[in-house]
Structure 1
Amino acid sequence: MSNRTIYELPLIELLPENLRSNPDIIAASKAVDSGFLAIVDDVEKLIMLPRVNSMCEDILDHLAYFLHVDFYDQSLDIDTKRKLVQESVYLHQIKGTPKAVEILIETLFDEGEVTEWFEYGGDPYTFRVVTTNKSVTNERAEEFVRALNTVKNRRSHLDSVIILQTEQMDIYYGGFLHVGSYETYKQVGE
């Protein structure tokens, strides 16, 4: 028997020999084949998470609701929505850990890391977020805190958000070196 796909193999060939000659069975298997092929084509649409990158925004919004993506906002751009939906199952598994906070920060704000209280000498059960993303400012602070509260554990509290800023600057420096000596010359014989 050659390797054939589900699309190429009719049901009649899967039946035992004694049923293959019955006209009612032949008619029934042909009817099942045509209906089965229509269903098989639609089954691919049920596979959601691997197809997130090709889904339209309306479907993403419904899928986010279905997967309980707590920090999902319909006003986000489509790429961020896709990232949130793709990571939602994993984030629910690690909810309440510093890793969950880091993943959320990286998804919503592109970059950042969590520093726990014992790493910087803070009060117990506090943490701070360090990021270089300049967009994490007062305009997005409310969104940031709302998103953060959905993945952190309840006993931990945000101590501060540190925005590291690096600037390209020209540095000019100069120097000089002076080498000299003291010499005395005498004129000899005239």
Structure 2
Amino acid sequence: MDRWDEDWTESVKRQVVKDAFYIHQHKGTTSAVRRVVEPFGFLIRIIEWWQTGETPGTFRLDIGVQDQGITEDTYLELERLISDAKPCSRHMIGMSINLQTSGPHWVGAASYLGEEITIYPYINETIISGGTAHEGGAVHVIDTMRVNP
């Protein structure tokens, strides 16, 4: 074990001892980083440089803390544990803490639709269409007459 804190809960202490051998065998892998975070009951997502197009050799962490929240001391302890378990050639450029809560969410919807229609028998009506028409015409006549002597 690289880190130990007397203030950890008994379940965290037991999980840290249980995972210590595995972490030292796999130190420098994403699996080891996951193992040092999970005893605290946090969810972790590792986003590496090649997934986001950032500087080669960098990574980011998204940590979901669920309902229990996180204290500043726990945050600093996580940074130390992650620093010990991460690959030496990789640099953490961001750690986002996301609080996730759950609870019932009630949604309701109702719809009421009605129409009142009166139907009459068919009556054939005369269709009248109207409009105006303009007519016009023109005649243009040319006569040429020549009188010779």
Bucket of the pairwise TM-score, normalised by the shorter protein: 0.5 to 0.7
Runs of 4 or more off by more than 4 Å in structure 1? none
Counterpart Cα distance in 2 of 1:157 and 1:88: 23
Q: Look up the match of 1:116.
A: 48
Counterpart secondary structure, 1:87: helix
Counterpart Cα distance in 1 of 2:49 and 2:109: 41
Q: Look up the match of 2:88.
A: 154
Counterpart Cα distance in 2 of 1:154 and 1:132: 24
**1:166–1:110: structure 2 CA closer, same or farther, 3 Å change rule?**
closer
**Deviation per CA, 1:146-187, whole angstroms, max 9, x where unpaired?**
1111101233233232526253322222333334434237xx
Q: Look up the match of 2:120.
A: 184
The answer to whether the aligner puts 1:167 opposite 2:99 as a matched pair is no
TM-score after normalising by structure 2: 0.63
AA matched with 1:178: G
Counterpart secondary structure, 2:36: helix
**Deviation per CA, 1:102-136, whole angstroms, max 9, x where unpaired?**
11111233432323222344432222323332324
Counterpart Cα distance in 2 of 1:124 and 1:173: 50
| Maintained 8 Å contact 1:95/1:152 | yes
Query: Structure with the greater relative contact order (CA < 8 A, sep ≥ 6): 1 or 2?
Result: 2
Q: CA deviation at 1:96?
A: 0.9
When you count helix as a share of all residues, which structure comes out higher?
A: 1
**1:164–1:79: structure 2 CA closer, same or farther, 3 Å change rule?**
closer
Structure 2 gap ranges (5+) = 122-149
**1:172–1:74: structure 2 CA closer, same or farther, 3 Å change rule?**
same
What's the Cα RMSD here?
A: 2.7
The answer to whether the aligner puts 1:90 opposite 2:22 as a matched pair is yes
The worse-fitting range, judged by mean Cα deviation, of 119-128 and 142-151 is 119-128
Counterpart secondary structure, 2:17: helix
TM-score after normalising by structure 1: 0.52
**1:184–1:166: structure 2 CA closer, same or farther, 3 Å change rule?**
farther
